[in-house]
């Protein structure tokens, strides 16, 4: 009887053990594609702003909006909707349908890319989850990232609506929030992906004293990106196109002159550009200090190498920013500067995450 029971038990098939190393590599490839697409989205969003295209589509159609106008009649209908808003009347009056198409395609492409990111995130997520390749502890942060992406779509439309009635451009407040949320999505994807990377012998005991400055750098990068959104929203980069002096001084006369003063930080072109410069100096100095700190406390370590590379990236980004300002914001340099900001964010978040222990393997 016991022998029969043993034989029966031996025929029970055990659930196959998952190869979590392989699963995580697959997840990192998927998240890598999402990261690249989000960076592309940030760049296209910048181009949409710089070309004045963001208000060319005056309706939000999450599903039907995938299909652009087809034929002369539909193009004329779309153009007629645009002609009803202040931007056309005060900025682009007399624009032809052909000229309208040029700004329409930028905004349409921006929205299409946003939809594609949603598909590229959601479909593989469902497939990977359904086949058991996503560990249980990873599901909540990934779902949170997807929810943040959905919220970002709503924020994008909220931003557009600010320019459809009483303005000729979108609110700088809403634009800065929209850009910052995009960067939170980018940072979240980088953080999760870096936590799944194989442990390559990182000496976290030596790197522990570096965590504080690395965290500070992440905060400063986010602050600088938010300020960059304000600069873009107010077109502040088209003014005071000299460096290192601004209006003939290191600290220009008239900065923070609004009443109350806090409004200057968000609404005064001079103050917004000045703040963007000051935080850039802060970021540059902090990155150099961090690289030196890493060299002293954790020499020849992966953390020291990353800190050195981060300092070089920040230096390059500062140079691109200065060149963009002096050249009065040409499209190519401005987009390169925006791309540089996304790369710096990617690098600083990955650097900070690598100082923590990798995400533990679970079922």
If asked whether residues 82 and 208 sit together in one domain, one would say no
Residue 216 lies inside a defined structural domain of this protein: yes
Residue 331 lies inside a defined structural domain of this protein: yes
Contacts 24+ apart (CB under 8 A), 253-259: none
Known binding positions for heme: 276, 337
Known binding positions: 276, 337
If asked whether residues 104 and 226 sit together in one domain, one would say no
If asked whether residues 149 and 218 sit together in one domain, one would say no
Q: Of the candidates 198, 233, 249, which is a domain's last residue?
A: 198
Q: Of the candidates 198, 217, 234, which is a domain's last residue?
A: 198
If asked whether residues 164 and 216 sit together in one domain, one would say no
If asked whether residues 170 and 254 sit together in one domain, one would say no
In this prediction, residue 8 carries a pLDDT of 44
Residue 15 lies inside a defined structural domain of this protein: no
DSSP for 230-295 reads HHHHHTGGGS---SS-BTTBSS-TTTT-SSSTHHHHHH-HHHHHHHHHHHHHHHHHHHHHHHHHHH
Task: Give the pLDDT band (50/70/90) at residue 10.
Answer: very low
Q: pLDDT tens digits for 344-360? A: 999 999 999 999 988 88
If asked whether residues 53 and 183 sit together in one domain, one would say yes
Residue 3 lies inside a defined structural domain of this protein: no
If asked whether residues 181 and 286 sit together in one domain, one would say no
Q: Which tokens in the block code for residue 223?
A: 């602050």
If asked whether residues 104 and 78 sit together in one domain, one would say yes
Task: Give the pLDDT band (50/70/90) at residue 18.
Answer: confident
Flag whether pLDDT at 192 surpasses 50: yes
Q: pLDDT tens digits for 121-160? A: 999 999 999 999 999 999 999 999 999 999 999 999 999 9
Q: Considering its fold, how many domains does the chain have in total?
A: 2
Q: Does the pTM exceed 0.85?
A: yes
Q: Of the candidates 198, 232, 264, which is a domain's last residue?
A: 198
Task: Give the pLDDT band (50/70/90) at residue 208.
Answer: confident
Range(s) of the domain holding residue 138 = 20-198
User: Residues 361, 135: contact at Cβ < 8 Å?
Assistant: yes
Mean pLDDT for the chain overall: 93
3-state secondary structure of 137: helix
If asked whether residues 180 and 287 sit together in one domain, one would say no
Q: Which tokens in the block code for residue 55?
A: 């208000």
Q: pLDDT tens digits for 42-95? A: 999 999 999 999 999 999 988 878 999 999 999 999 999 999 999 999 999 999
């Amino acid at each position: 009887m016991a022998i029969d029971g043993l034989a029966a038990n031996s025929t029970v098939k055990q659930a196959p053990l998952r190869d979590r190393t392989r699963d995580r590599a697959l997840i990192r490839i998927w998240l890598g594609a999402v990261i690249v697409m989000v960076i592309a989205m940030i760049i296209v969003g910048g181009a949409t702003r710089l070309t004045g295209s963001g208000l060319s589509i005056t309706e939000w159609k999450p599903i039907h909006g995938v299909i652009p106008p087809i034929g002369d009649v539909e193009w004329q209908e779309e153009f007629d909707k645009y002609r009803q808003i202040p931007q056309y009347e005060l900025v682009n009056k007399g624009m032809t349908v052909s000229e309208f198409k040029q700004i329409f395609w930028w905004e349409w492409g921006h929205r299409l890319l946003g939809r594609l990111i949603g598909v590229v995130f959601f479909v593989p997520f469902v497939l990977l989850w359904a086949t058991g390749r996503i560990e249980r502890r990873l599901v909540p942060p990934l779902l949170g990232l997807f929810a943040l992406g959905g919220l970002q779509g709503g924020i994008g439309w909220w931003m557009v609506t600010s320019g459809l009635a009483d303005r000729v451009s979108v609110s700088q407040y809403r634009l800065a929030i929209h850009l910052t949320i995009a960067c939170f999505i980018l940072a979240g994807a980088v953080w999760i992906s870096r936590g799944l990377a194989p442990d390559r012998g990182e000496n976290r005991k030596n790197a522990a004293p570096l965590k504080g400055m690395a965290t500070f750098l992440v905060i400063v990068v986010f602050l600088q990106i938010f300020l960059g959104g304000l600069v873009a929203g107010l077109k502040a980069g088209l003014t005071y196109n000299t460096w290192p002096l601004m209006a003939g001084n290191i600290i220009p006369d008239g900065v923070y002159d609004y009443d109350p003063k806090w409004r200057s930080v968000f609404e005064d072109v001079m103050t917004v550009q000045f703040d963007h410069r000051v935080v850039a100096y802060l970021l540059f100095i902090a990155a150099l200090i961090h690289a030196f700190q890493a060299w002293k406390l954790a020499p020849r370590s992966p953390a020291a190498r990353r800190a050195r590379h981060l300092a070089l990236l920040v230096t390059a980004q500062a140079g691109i920013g200065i060149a963009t300002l002096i050249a009065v914001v040409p499209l190519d340099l401005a987009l390169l500067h925006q791309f540089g900001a996304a790369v710096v964010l990617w690098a600083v978040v990955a650097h900070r995450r690598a100082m923590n222990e990798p995400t533990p393997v679970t079922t």
